[in-house]
Chains A and B, each alone.
Chain A
Amino acid sequence: MTPLAQSLAFGILVGGLYGLAAVGLSLVFGVTKFLNVAHGELLMLGGYAGFWFFTLWGVDPFLSLPIVVACLVLMGLVLYKLLFSRMVKLSEENKIKNTLLVGFGLSLIFQNLALRLWTADDRGITTSYSGQAFTVLGVRFPMVRVASLGIALVCLLALHLFLHRTYTGKAIRATVQDWEAATLMGIDIHKVYLLSFVLGAALAGVAGALVSVGYSIQPTMGLEWTLIALVVMVLGGLGSIPGTLVGGLILGVTQSLTSYWIGGTYREIVALLLFLVVLVVRPQGLFGSKEG
């Protein structure tokens, strides 16, 4: 019983990060219809930012999170101003297609540069408290992963409150519902797009930094995490933050149960098969509405 409970626990712990990784992609896609497939690379950059702050200057990875966010905000700004702002006016179908292609170009560039700058080695942050864990009913909970899950939940809650309680958040949701009507109501949708894109990059940065603490990072991790984020986005349905969290948890638990019952090498395969089934049977996601 305990090994099963243990893998369930690990599944939930990683599932929270999956949710955090996906919510940025989902926010950007929902608001701007940009499908930024370089999202996984932004995550990778966040991971390396946290890693270098810790390795070079000994900054605690949880304390450096705000600096990582600042770096990714800057990166998001540059990418938006330089590239993505040029695709705002395209029709929806072309917008998705072109941003997807530009995203592939970006992921190639980031991956190649990261490989040259930081080598292909697996990296991870090992702090003085990395080995600590507490045990509940024989199930082990590593402290850093629990803390990461906590931060992921706080981020998701904060985003939810921001979108629902603030004026700016309401403007973002109005743009999702009908951007033309939003424009007529005096909402500057270019600002909304920029804000969403930058927020998405920042969320990817946080997720990446947390991955580098509890797990490991490498320059080629981007595609895997982009796929994870896509899977969770489709599982959870667009535009629902609780749905995205549940999608992340489902994916995390499915993967760890697959490892437990079938074998570790099949965890990604089962995740992708789950994704394909959902795509064909219920393209609007498990929790999404028909309109998306």
Chain B
Amino acid sequence: MSGKRLVVIALVIAGLALLTVLPVLVQSDSIINLAILALLYIALASSWNVLGGYTGQTNLGHAAFFGLGSLTTRLLWLSVGWPLPLSLLAGGVVAVVFALLVGAPAFKLRGVYFAIGTLALAQVLNMTVGNMFPMITSLPAEYLATYQLAPRYYLFLGLALLTVGTAYVLVHSRLGLGMMAVREEEEAAESLGVSAFRHKLLALSVSAFFAGLTGGAFAFYHVGYYPQFPFGPVWTFDSMMMAYIGGTGTIIGPIIGAVFFVVAKELLALNLLELHLTVFGTLFILVVLFLPGGLVEAWGRIRRVLARRARAREVRLASPEQASGHQTVVGL
């Protein structure tokens, strides 16, 4: 077991090292942009997963946090002239403040009403921002002249690591156990002294904070866009789909989902006349219906089948005459 653990740790370190030197190794801007998109989605899907996957509250308004983060950071950084780190932090904080303001009434809504309530709320914000800021926001000329991808890449890398790391620490803590208890059975959790409301609010705040930071990084990265753009429902649906396809309620799931989504989108967009959304929609439905644990569960199943076959083969090799009897025992 410890050998296996060492392999995992070695793989993670190797992966991180590769990600760290990627801008040096690869000179192509399009690949770096793709990596940035994947890191952005890892952070966004992982932050959705904290509330949607671990706490069981299907949040259909995640784009609101992402949008608020981007709007705040862009305004403070470009218009007010705050330093970038402070503007980024402010983006996360504004998203949390908004989450707390709406969280208290929203959690009075159970299940489906929470989902459609958050969707409606995000759409209200989406349209309001569209009305208030109808003009495109572009980086000023002095920033454009010195625009470099590498710092943006490292910002997203750090952000993705921070989000995944925080989610990991959180779900392995007592609070994380409480969140999962709320997901499994709210009444039972309450009867054991776990306050469902507090755990939901905590998960919502963490989820909103990292979505807000990601939005801020988006504001730092993107050259020119309509302020309404990051508020679009597509950001919510994309991150939700990634979390589901990878596997909700797992740390690795949203990462796999995000990478899969970005790579497959790139490949499909080239070959399939922009029908990638149809492919993802189909895949998403199949996962919801037949594979609730996503790709993580699929991998687990494949591994178990392979292990069973390998064991059966060992048994057969060891004692051919008893093979069939052993196989059924192992199969159980």
B124 touches A86 (CB 8 A): no
Interface assignment of A59: CB less than 8 Å from any CB of chain B: no
Q: Which residues of B contact A273 (CB under 8 A)?
A: 124
Docked Cα-Cα span, A164 to B288, in Å, equals 36
Q: Which residues of A contact B108 (CB under 8 A)?
A: 280
Minimal Cβ-Cβ distance residue in B for A108: B281
B123 touches A105 (CB 8 A): no
Interface assignment of A106: CB less than 8 Å from any CB of chain B: yes
Interface assignment of A269: CB less than 8 Å from any CB of chain B: yes
Interface size class of B (residues with CB under 8 A): 35 or more
Residue interface bits B265-296, CB-to-A below 8 A is 1, else 0: 00000000111011011101100110000000
Docked Cα-Cα span, A283 to B114, in Å, equals 11
Interface size on A, residues (CB 8 A): 37
Q: Is the interface of B mostly helix, strand, loop or mixed?
A: helix
B112 touches A100 (CB 8 A): yes
Minimal Cβ-Cβ distance residue in B for A100: B115
Docked Cα-Cα span, A113 to B278, in Å, equals 7
B281 touches A276 (CB 8 A): no
A97 touches B281 (CB 8 A): no
Interface assignment of B224: CB less than 8 Å from any CB of chain A: no
A109 touches B278 (CB 8 A): yes
Minimal Cβ-Cβ distance residue in B for A87: B289
Please provide the chain B residues from 273 to 332 with a CB less than 8 Å away from any CB of chain A in the complex. 273-275, 277-278, 280-282, 284-285, 288-289
A101 touches B233 (CB 8 A): no
B285 touches A106 (CB 8 A): yes
Q: How far is the CB of B274 from chain A (nearest CB, A)?
A: 7
A97 touches B278 (CB 8 A): no
Docked Cα-Cα span, A269 to B124, in Å, equals 5
A227 with B281, Cβ < 8 A, contacts A93-B111, A116-B273, A266-B131 known: no
A-B contact pairs, 23 of them (CB 8 A): A97-B112, A101-B240, A104-B237, A105-B285, A106-B285, A108-B278, A108-B284, A109-B277, A109-B281, A111-B277, A116-B274, A231-B120, A234-B116, A268-B123, A272-B121, A272-B124, A272-B127, A275-B120, A276-B117, A276-B121, A279-B113, A279-B120, A280-B109
**Closest A-B pairs by Cβ, 3 of them:** A108-B281, A109-B281, A105-B285
Given contacts A83-B289, A112-B275, list 15 more A-B pairs with CB under 8 A: A86-B289, A87-B289, A98-B288, A101-B58, A102-B285, A109-B281, A227-B123, A231-B120, A265-B130, A269-B124, A272-B120, A276-B117, A279-B109, A280-B105, A280-B108
